[in-house]
A and B are shown apart, each in its own frame.
Chain A
């Protein structure tokens, strides 16, 4: 046996979809977090309610690297249908905990085996058999707790938090965990070399998923109107909004709602409602995924042209078409960049962590109103639906920004200043952002007619060539000027770096780990994480400075690399795309391999 491996391995739970393993897996994840060990969890699940194989991987890493790894070290096998491939995915000297009713496939690998007599333990617990399918998962919680030395009181605390006042369920689950733990203690002998030890590096961190964070961030950003249509993997963002809005956003004095949530009949209607609400002066948003964004693109073109503020979260899954609805991707980047027909440009935010989902939740609503344009936020399934260890949510550092909105008195003053000359689409300040009024403003000059057709500065219908071109050049300038407001990239430098890595979104943990692994090979690199589009001035600086720039992303065609080459074609030869799309998030191991292939070929 090798020496002890402490706080640096991956556990994968292989279960059947619909068997209720999520509770068990989540309890383990949170127990490890509470032990102060950096931890991450990833749910790999089928587009199915019940019956197909599903996996949940927990990675513990004392160095804080939380990206996906390629191999498992400990497999908990509860599914006979997948056990063969699950074993194949184990690292050398891997550990297999398995339901002893599952016949083990022939294998010559040096596995360390721990059979779990699940049926026997459940019978011993004398619990109603109708719940056995769910309680079976608590057996592995108990056995694993013994194996890795997880404090049972921690498990009990988390079970209590989960089941709340459902005391019968709580007691049953606790009992199965305890019985299983005691059984393991009595009957098993620890033969593997994986160990957990308490650490103290999780101070200031919380556990949350990106969709919850995005919903809360939007609520702290004062969202007033949501219209929605359920779609995996955005549904939990919408559900979180619907859970927290009634809790956090009732008027203090009257107890009445300061928000509206409408379930639309489809995404065409959801975006129509959101455009209407944004136009009438409400902080307005929706969340969807690729297929929904396709349906929304025509209204987004109208909102772009008529300058309506709103926010769309696209929690990306694998496309095109229905694609892989329960698998992650970054495949909607170029689609969002070029969204809708005709010449358009959209401001896109690219959150890279759960914490940033919260921050961009409120920031997106500010930007939408400051720029009077749709803001697209590209999250993804990995970030949105998985629970991550993340820095605690930070309270917004600036008051809610409403942009250039005019009420009666404001309009009166502006008219005086402008000698009565004001039009909805006039660029008074020279920054491309006009002043807007909203319905309900009773000033006789406030009203205007909004349209998706050609219009002049006074919102009058126009097909005049110069007018169209003038308005459109201003729109372009407006979006270009957004670089002064949108989140800047994050640059992580290493001394002696010659190569650069550009990436974005949920690739962050894998790329950070790649940088560390590269530095161990003395291939020092700088890492620039893009957090928003259009490209800010930091990008060309980064391109100039480095000999070679690897653009790392989770899509087939290297979409960010495409956009970079298009925008900075002078540096095209330096830009190397490292892109990959198979429905899984990128691993540092894979990224490193791709980079080293190129570096070693020098």
Chain B
């Protein structure tokens, strides 16, 4: 697969190498590296202009990773837990750009929980990825708020707190796109990335991304082995871009659900055992609760709603990117000022 991609050019004539970043300085085997690779692949396969993407991050291992993909995109590595506000401001400069924010579990669920939930509440159109490994890597392995109760780590001892579930928090704040996936399941990750990049609102991707150095023991819910052993996909996913024709003859009738996104692209959801409807928020909440009870890693598109207006839609902005809007037109006339002076005199 990979070699094939390297040789190919996509619909805008770019090669996969045009989407690369710097070499990663994260640990070998870090889940974050797989995610960076899948972002590269997804953007390449979708034929997105790297110059039309803007990358954001907070602080932590996760937040270093925007340097490791899309060198031709602008990026801004902001403050700990405060990437959401940074991205919200920046994306208004030119609302034709796509934003990809990379955060971690500490960055999102500890210091940044407030900004995360408000970003969700505003439905700012961008992709918000949480590289979720349950620990602080850069400061050497403290528990984060997503670490499970009872997790025992060599230096830290036993975690006594119940975890915060990022997908649940997103749902509770009326997110319009919530997916959970696993860095060890690149196929699903890639399809979800494509769907997220096509969503007309805030898309939360809660990605279990194991920390091979501090939290990868078998019994840890953020490890590769636990994920592989307990992953319970709610469906099989396939992203079909707006321009492509859908071929569903491979699948039995009644086993496929289609979710059409705002730009006309479609997510094909193939039933796996259960019949899950990702457009039903109540159902999503219930399913998530059950997953906790059943001790399994539910993955897939948990919830999507492509009808809700996003923050940019609500601002009624001029069509031209605001950062190209002519300066001279930004200043009201002398007459207007005279009128104001009259009003105040």
Contact = CB atoms under 8 A, between A and B. Distances in A.
A152 B322 CA distance: 50
Interface string B326-339: 01111110101100
A220 B327 CA distance: 11
A461 B22 CA distance: 11
Interface string B315-345: 1111101111101111110101100110011
Listed residue (A273, A276, A451) with the most chain B CB atoms within 10 angstroms of its CB: A276
Given A265-B115, A273-B86, A393-B337, A258 B92 contact: no
Interface string A372-410: 000000000000000000001101100110100001000
Contact of B85 (A249, A254, A268, A444): A268
A269 interface: yes
B51 A450 contact: no
Given A260-B317, A440-B324, A450-B77, A251 B329 contact: yes
B322 A224 contact: yes
A268 B115 contact: yes
B86 A276 contact: yes
A266 B118 CA distance: 10
A281 B323 contact: yes
Q: How large is the interface on B (under 10, 10 to 19, 20 to 34, 35 or more residues)?
A: 35 or more
B72 interface: yes
A392 to B, nearest CB: 4
B51 A444 contact: yes
B340 to A, nearest CB: 7
A201 to B, nearest CB: 14
B93 A272 contact: no
A256 B92 contact: no
B93 A440 contact: yes
A446 B97 CA distance: 15
A384 B92 CA distance: 29
Nearest to B337: A395
B71 interface: yes
Nearest to A209: B344
A275 B82 CA distance: 11
Interface string B50-78: 11101100000000001100011111111
B42 interface: no
A254 B325 CA distance: 13
B318 A282 contact: no
A220 B331 CA distance: 5
Contact of A205 (B67, B93, B345): B345
A281 B93 contact: yes
B90 A298 contact: no
A438 interface: yes
B84 interface: yes
Interface in A269-287: 269-284
Contacts of A227: 85, 89
B344 A206 contact: yes
B255 interface: no
18 contacts: A207-B344, A208-B344, A222-B327, A224-B325, A258-B329, A262-B88, A265-B118, A268-B85, A268-B115, A269-B114, A274-B89, A276-B78, A282-B93, A393-B340, A400-B331, A446-B51, A448-B75, A453-B77
